[in-house]
Amino acid sequence: MRPLEIAGTVIEPGNVYRLELPMVRLYTDTTMGVPVYVRRGKKDGPIIFVSAAIHGDELNGIEIINRLINSKAVQKLKGTLIAVPMVNVYGVLNQSRYLPDRRDLNRSFPGSKKGSLAGRMAYAFLNEIAAKADYGIDFHTGAIHRSNLPQIRANLDDPETLELAQAFGMPVLLNANLRDGSLRQCASERDTKILLYEAGEALRFDEFAIRAGLDGTINVLRHLGMLPKGRKRKKEIEQFIARQSGWIRASESGMVMHHKQLGDFVETGDVLALIQDPFGALLDTIIASNAGIIIGKQNIPLVQEGEAMYHIAYFKAPDEVVENLEALQDDLLPEGNMDYD
C-alpha cells in the first residue's frame, strides 16, 4: 500500500481520521480549517476523494457525504476514501457561493501558496487532497433560485471517465468541456479522473438529489472494487449522453408563469412559459427551439430580460431519458430510509 500523508498526518491502513486543513484566519482572529474525513481500508485499493461545497451555498453534497461516511457500506472499504464535506468553509459560513474576496474558488485552481485567499485555498486542496487521489467526485447544485436535474458532467471522451460516469447510474450524462481554473481541469492534468455531480438548488436540501448522489457514489466505489457488489435495482437504469445543451433566456422582464418543469421532455415549439407585466398583460411566450430534456430551471416567478430560464439538454431519444428518470425516482424514493449493506 502506497504511503499517504494529509495535513501532516500519516494515514495508516485500517484507521479512520478526522483532520483539518488549516486555512487563513478570519479578521476576528478566528481559526479556520477545512474538515477532512479519511478512511483507509486494511486491504489495498484505489484512493478516491469526494468533495462538496466548493461553492459555499451548494449544500446537498454535505449531506451526501454525511450519509456516505456513516453508512454500513464503507466499513468494508478497500483502498482509501477521503471525504471533504465543506471545501469553501468561508462560503458555507456566509451562505455564499463565493469567498470573502468575492472570488469563485472553482475558477482559482491550481492556485498558489502565497496568492489570494482563493488561490491559497485552491493550492492547499489540490495538493493535499485531489493530487493524491486516483479518482474524485465533486458534488454541486444549481445556483440560488435555480435547480438542476440529477446529472453527471464529465469528460466523456476519456474512456475511463466514461466508465465511471456510467457506473454512477444517472440517466443524464453531459459531456462537459474542462473549464479553465476549475478543480476538474487541474485534477485531470494530474491524471485524477473526476466526475461532477449536479443536482438540486443552492441553500436547499433535496431528498431525491441527495439519495441519487449517495446511491451513485456507492455505485462508483463498487465499480472500482472498493466495496463488495450490492443488490441489483428492480429496473436497470440506462444512461444517455448529451453532447450539447443550451439555455433559453427571457426576451422580456416580468412575471413568469411556468408551463414546463425540471425533467420534462419538450418538443420543438412547445410553450415553456409566459411572461406577463404586473397587470397580467402578456409580454411574450417562451418557446422551445429544440426538442430535449429540461435539466436546469429558474425557480422564482420574476425574470429580467436576458436572464437564463431553462437549461435544455439534447438527446437522440429524449422520451427514453424521461422513462429512466422516473424509474430512478421510483427506486430511490420509496417509503423509509435507504440502507446500504
Which cell numbers in the block locate residue 209?
438529489
Q: Rounded distance, CA 138 to CA 116, Å?
A: 23
State pTM to two decimals: 0.95
Q: Of 22, 72, 46, 228, give the one whose Cα is nearest residue 137.
A: 46
Which cell numbers in the block locate residue 106?
472553482
CA distances for 202 relative to 52, 92, 214, 241, 268, angstroms? 12, 11, 18, 25, 30
What is the predicted pLDDT for the residue at 318? 81
Q: Rounded distance, CA 325 to CA 237, Å?
A: 8
Q: Rounded distance, CA 269 to CA 286, Å?
A: 9
What is the residue whose three cell numbers read 447510474?
A: 169
What is the predicted pLDDT for the residue at 68? 98
Q: Rounded distance, CA 229 to CA 76, Å?
A: 11
Q: Give the sign of the dihedral formed by CA 186, CA 13, CA 62, CA 233.
A: positive
What is the predicted pLDDT for the residue at 337? 56
Q: Rounded distance, CA 141 to CA 152, Å?
A: 11
CB atoms within 10 A of CB 11: 21
Which cell numbers in the block locate residue 1?
500500500
Q: pLDDT, tens digit, for every residue of 252-262? A: 999 999 999 99
Q: Which DSSP letter does residue 7 get? A: T
| Residue ranges in the chain modelled with pLDDT below 70 | 233-234, 334-341
In this structure, the dihedral spanned by the alpha carbons of residues 77, 82, 84 and 87, taken in order and rounded to 10 degrees, is -160
Which cell numbers in the block locate residue 94?
456566509
Q: pLDDT, tens digit, for every residue of 269-299? A: 999 999 999 999 999 999 999 999 999 999 9
Which cell numbers in the block locate residue 17?
481520521
What is the predicted pLDDT for the residue at 234? 65
What is the predicted pLDDT for the residue at 319? 82
Burial class of residue 118 (count of CB atoms within 10 Å of its CB; 0-12, 13-18, 19+): buried
What the chain holds in terms of domains, given with CATH numbers, is: 5-223 (3.40.630.10), 243-328 (2.40.50.100)
What is the predicted pLDDT for the residue at 127? 97
What is the predicted pLDDT for the residue at 173? 97
H or E element, residue 300: none
Question: For residue 77, which amino acid is it?
Answer: L
Q: Rounded distance, CA 196 to CA 152, Å?
A: 6
